[in-house]
Structure 1
Amino acid sequence: MANSTKDLILSYLSDLSENFDFTQVNHFTASSISDEMHISRSLASQYLNELVKEKSVMKINSRPVYFFHRKKMEELYQTTFQEEDFYDLEEVKEYVATHSKGEGDYSQIIGSDKSLAGVIKQLRESFEYPPSGLPMIVYGERGTGKRTLCTTIFDNAARKGVIDENTKLMKLEFSPGHNEDLLHKVFGQKNKIGMIDSYDHIVFMLCGIQHMSEDFQNRLCQLIEMDKSHYRGQYKNKIIRYMFICDTNPNLFINERLLKNIPVILNVPSLKEKSNEEKEELIIHFIQQEGKKMEKTIKISNVVLRALVNGDYDNNMIGLQSTIRIMCASALRESAGKSEAIIHTYHLPEHLLTTMPIMIDEDVIYIDTTTYKKSEQIDFILDYFNRIFKPFLKTEHFLEALTESKHNFDLLGDYLSYKQRIPPVRIKGTEISLSNILDIVLKKRYMNLPSGFCCTLAKLIYIHDLYSSSIQKWRQDNRNLIDDALNQMKTHLFNESMIVEDITRLMYTNLEINTTDILSAIMMIYIHHYNSEITNRKIFGMIVCHGYSTATSIADAVNSLLETYVFDAVDMPLDITVDEIKEILMERLNRMNHNADVIVMVDMGSLEQLGKSLSTAINCNVGVINNVSTRLALNVGNCILNDKDLKTTLQKVSENSLAHYTIIDRKKNDTILFISESGIHMAQRMRELFENSFPLQVPVDLEVCDYNQLLASGANHEFFSSNNVLFMTGTANPHIEGQIFIALEEIISGNNIDVIMNRLSKYLKPDELNQLLDDLRKNFTLQNVVGYLTILNPKVLLDNVSLAVETLQEHLQKRFGGKTLIGIYIHVCCLIERLVTKSAITEFNNLEDFKKDNHVFIQDVHDSFQTLSKRYNITIPTSEIAYLYEFIAADEEGFEDGELLSKLDRK
């Protein structure tokens, strides 16, 4: 009975500590706990002191004595508390202030790391400013979460002990005609005291201050001014903080005197001003809330999610939440007797349904909101950004860096075209405007860019708007890398940087787009690449075709193959006249060197008459070639680059223009694929470590791929159809039929190195292969790999992991082989990082069956990893233990006669 009661006391303290703050410590006394548990105070004290000795509870020797749940407090403040007792609450607060690693729990506020990050930072700093904070006004449209923000700021300050434990939060709601009542309530009247006289520590949260009377404003001015002058009269012992909340700009209704006394005025962004990824988080959060009420799994189609993200709502999040509730109610009626409800397009309100864009070639998928994870597409794009800027770290080879960077941008363009498909309707207007802007800036300099560049640029602008928060964070994290690259470009590419400044100015003036440094760098790279030799060209090429993007596609392909700007392109509507085509061509050709000749390649023989009229209009020699094709254009381009004259070029390509056919197997790029069950960030770190081992640059793409997508798609994953995968490597084998997987531990232990050498032998000479082998051995030591893969101190982590694994072997009564032991070390190190960064694997097929069949193994892991768990303040979930079991079982062949797997099965 005693032990059971003691356990109940510990459990009660755990629940009580979930929302701990220093203003509610009276609940943590032996007296309060005895009342709650219905036991005597002496018995409660006995059990509490036993829990203190067991180090499950912290004791604060003040009067009265307080008892806190140690583990909950350590989780809350992200620190490890000292084992000896604290003298009083002030000592606890001081310890928290100097040891806590967190700024407070704002995770429940969606957007705390995005659009609200700056607002929260200023609010927190102003509220916590000693000794009594700075008065602040928080304003914004109705439904933007102002009250929630202010309440959370107060809760976190109370939790951290920034404000006194006796502080009282006073929430006052102003409305027309009720100011007199609130005035008396706060300041009192005659013989009746007010709130301000009842407490020494007060936080006033004054809501709807647009309705505050002039009298109330003046009384507040007197109160604030007394505090500023340090002469407080009857209020000399009081600490008062002020948080004013309103729906409109305070300059419209607050008197000048009060405004002068409020130094901090913050605007909370509306729903429209939030990024699409933030809106998506809000929508999923609201649907999850409704699902809990309905006790059902709610699924939503991707079409509905997009419509909700792009919708407009009265009262911001209030309107959004109301819309979602109505839709969930409709879906609930249709799901009677089912465990899940599905929100379809027809559940959308009419105002969203009528404005929803029509999409072509898009499959409808249904998203399970209970297991929803944000798309990792932006992570792939950010990875390309990193690859575009990273070559400039090699400052001694600027031109090589330009070439490598341009190649990586081309890969990004391919990714946006073939994998992250963006509906043309979303970017068409921006694309046309960008084309006009580039025409204006470049034509006066006789310069050109590929026609398709505007489309890629428009896609990147769209992506920036879609994922603005993530891109902004990436820019902040990589500020030095970006600045260093831009400084090199401005030094070496002075003219190009001046041109880009003109382009960015026109983009802002005409489109109100603030061009990021990422786009500026890309434009400089492209302008230099396609115009470095253009002024000395003797012949210029022009491709003219009917239809959308036909000429552009041919020109882009040929220009890319020739790696220089040879052809400009003109895409014509089917109903355009020859005279209209002539005007367009004249405008384009006038940019070029006027002493050069022109070859115009057309898709129909009827356009041949263009040659004579163009020659007269621009006073140059003009050659016209019909039935244009990519191969024909490539031949012409080669002649132009080899300085062939106009006549020789026309004769040569005419002789070779007969049609032939052959069947050509698709050329696939040789690729090494990096994967990790911990996500693409871990895979990117592995790729970087492997890349650093190459003695020179080789034409092999090093790519990362989503591990879960590989598991789902197997050999049918599109990556294998478009790439020749030399081998896969990583921390977990996805078991893809027909593909070679080399585990990370095999590289470390030296196994299967010959496979890597053989696969790369056609790119590296024998001495270069030996150098690669030496660098792999040097870079892929266990400690170095762990240091690359985790954010934690690798030596300390490995020491602790090795002790835990040694204990696990003793529990299992089995010694692991060398390769398997290394693999387990890596697996556990990655597991620890996932838990520390709150990104644990929470799903596992047939998890309940695993728990039932392997309860001994689960307990063995918990016992063996007890020290690890305490050091890093983590709890290992059963899903992660299941993955560890699978990893060990998968290496059964590394044990003698499969001994370990048999032993695990018997348990």
Structure 2
Amino acid sequence: MSYSSTKEQVVEYLKKATRSMNIDQLSGFTTINISKLLNLSRSLTSQYLNELVKDEKVIKISSRPVYYFDRMELEKKYHIEIKQFDFLNMSELLQTLQSGDTQLQDFQKAIGNEGSLHYCISQMKSALFYPDGGLPVLLYGEKGCGKSFLVNLIYEFCINHDLLSRQAPFIKMKIFRNDDMEYYKKELFGYFDKKENIVKKGKLEEASGGILFIQDIGNLNEDCQEKLAEYISTGKFTRSNDDSVMIDSSARIIFASMEDPRDILTQSMILNMPVICNIPSWISRNEDERKAFIIKFFKEEQERLDIPIYVSEKMLVLLMNYDFANNINELKKYIKTICANAYAENGGQERLDVFMYHLPIQLLDDIRVNKINQEDDNMIRIDAIEKNEGSNKIMMMWEQFLQVYEDNKTSFKKYLEEGQKIVRYYYDILIYQESYLDERLSAIEKIVLDILGAIKKSRNIILPINCGYVLTRMILTSQKNNSSFRQWEQDNRDVIKECLATMKQNMMNEYILSELILKQIQTHLDIRLSDMNRIFLMMNINLYNKDIHAQDTIGIILSHGYSTASSIADAANSLLSTYIFEAIDMPLDTPIQEVSKKLDAFISDNRHIKNIILLVDMGSLEEIGTMIADSVNVGVINNISTSLALNIGTKILQHYELEDILQIACEEAQCRYKVLSVAKKEKAIVFTNDAGLVVSEKLSRLFKDSLPKDIDLKMIEYDYDELLKNGSEDMLFKKYDVVLMIKPYNLKIQNVSSVTLEEIMNFKDIDKVNHVLLPYLDESEIEEFDQCLLKNFSMQSVMENLTILNAPKLLDYVSDAISALQHIMKQKFQSKTIVGIYIHICFLVERLVTKTALDKYKDLNGFIERHQDFIENVNRSFDTMLTHYNVKLPISEIAYLYEYIEHDNIKGGGEDEF
């Protein structure tokens, strides 16, 4: 093993250990324990650790013993920048960490920054870091959902990351509907005051070097929006009453809107707005985030009133599930009113008790609350809710399971003893010391207890009611904390699998019963529980049942191939909702003696098994049964299939005798055939464009450049005319499994997942693209790909990469031409087709300049007869552009342009997808 790989092992171990560190258990952070765990020499481990300290990647505690922690993980965990890398003792480090624990910075302050706002914030960061002053950002969402708060965090983020100076201006401007638009035009762009003979600067100029935040951008008229679009595109603007002087400004612009931008912005604004973030409403936030907002606002009132607040559990549940019309702002207002009502009748008590009847009258009327009995309502101190969350305790329990497993790998008995101590310890905490503000608790608890009761009765085992209580809480908590629990399980996936495999090997009966319980829960609740839930269940089953008698007949599938037997066994066990079949996969060159040894080992580990049915794939394996027939009753059946396994498994569950199972299964087995000749096809993404193969090749290159690494997925550029002519019968689909096609609007291929170039440029249907890449990229790589795609497929970037002409100048000419055409036709094109028209015309101009114009069009004479007016309108609208490039527009090109306009008309009527 190389120097770099062993050193990397140390780095990865410290990252993982620091992420889940417990201040009271630091043995895993010493040189000697790290060297033992990684099987490295102590001197080499010490050398690596000190090199990492020198590189400022690891924090060293020079106590006895010496401890080492990963710096980045500590900074993330405690929200602080650590500038010291060598501490005298743990107290000194803890003092540093505690000083920064509450000092959250910029986006860390946003509730949901790792949940519902995670993607929005990653988009914002991409826009803010974009070269040459960043990209404009538009936030849209319902009133009171937190848009203004996020804009304040954007400003703070820019300062913290040196994108703006600390003295940078931060100017806010709100646009009211139906106000004087001339006033807003002057306010934005400034004007020359002829009476005073002076220039009055506008907000855009005043915000240079800083941020201009424009609220309710959709209330601006088209003229103002066009001037803003010009500034975004060029970085320059003219005053409201003087077009002769161009003015520079380096202001970053953030827009906010309560309406969908597709309904309120002009086409130019949409084209210049690559980053549009939809901020979720209050009720669409997850439960943890809604609870965090409630706690935050009650804590603010507690600090203002300087008295501890206790809140009724019923009120917390009600507030969490109430759909506030004005979202977070309205919640905050109601909590102020609630606390004011409670404080008014407090009478000098040392604590403030907040009950349901303190709700404002509007809420009481709305929820129809009349008589409320405060005596049966559990009161919770607002400070204590976050500190003792059951989710943290469950994760701590899981971490301790894994820790005792790793500490006792040489003694499974010791691991089991320590693990069961953990179960007993957390029973009391999770059942009696935790508050669960979830109205589903009782309903799910009843289902889980019913399932456990039925299995206890049918299998004659003991499972205490506490097991059902804790399992219910684990189900609820893991469902509400999906992101954090998934991340923890992902980080620990290897040791979890190893631990479960060891338990399965040593506790097969417990494994079988846990499988049955989890299958029943999945059937009744549609919730798939994790391997950690299985580990918990197996611990419980073993704790209360030291001598389990499971079913005495089992099937073992023997098949040649690396996973054939496993696939059949997994499918059959899943469909039967119980563990009936074990699998032994055999590479073709496996000696029969090796298979026999595996069978003997299985029998030795499962002494309760009396009957084994061997399901084999070849007659040559039939004799293997004779090698084990002395220890158990063995039956052998060949020509194994999933349907045969299901037939036999059903009869095992129905307690048929061994010989009857084999006889009846053979009689019922039938073979059917049909001729199929379909070769496995290579998966591919296809790029095609009506502008030609050269453009398709450039699109393919841009797409590949956006990928964070090479992937085993073929990228194909294909002829548009062939696809248009042949459709789904084209040879392309016979040769390749086309998982995604990037194509023009007017190309329709049935049963092929596709997106248009326009949709990619507007980041629409990106989930389709991401879904195709999921087998090849992990979540972080998908996020990196999305950010690169956002950059590489902006209008400016696409034009600069796909045309040989000066892109900014060409786009200006095209914009003017389309505006003129809309004016002449007295028709406003839909925004979703505007981008397509832009791209088509840009390619059209290049074809004219390079003398490669399309000269073929079906029924060209008929088009000329029917659409003479359209031909004249296009020539008039495009006159300036055509004169500049010294080209003439062929009728065939005008006909292709007409198809975009016709598509716009056909799709009209409020179906704008742009």
| TM-score, normalized by the shorter chain, greater than 0.5 | no
